[in-house]
Amino acid sequence: MTELLVVRSKIKEYTKLNVASDFADALSKVVEAKIKRAEERADGNGRKTLKPIDL
């Protein structure tokens, strides 16, 4: 397992629904993939800074 990029307690605060124990891990993987794609886009545009437009 990689490092968790989301805060479990914040997820629980954000929703009124119950949160499965593996939800944070799955969400973290989604976030990791989004960051990776943003890195590729920024790099492709010759930048070393991630910007909202990269999402």
DSSP string, 12-46: HHH-SS---TTHHHHHHHHHHHHHHHHHHHHHHTT
Give φ, ψ of 39 to 5 degrees. -60, -45
At 52, list the tokens: 């909202």
pTM of the model: 0.85
Domain boundaries, the chain: 8-54
Residue 9 pLDDT > 60: yes
Q: Given pLDDT bands bounded at 50, 70 and 90, which one contains residue 40?
A: very high
Residue 27 pLDDT > 90: yes
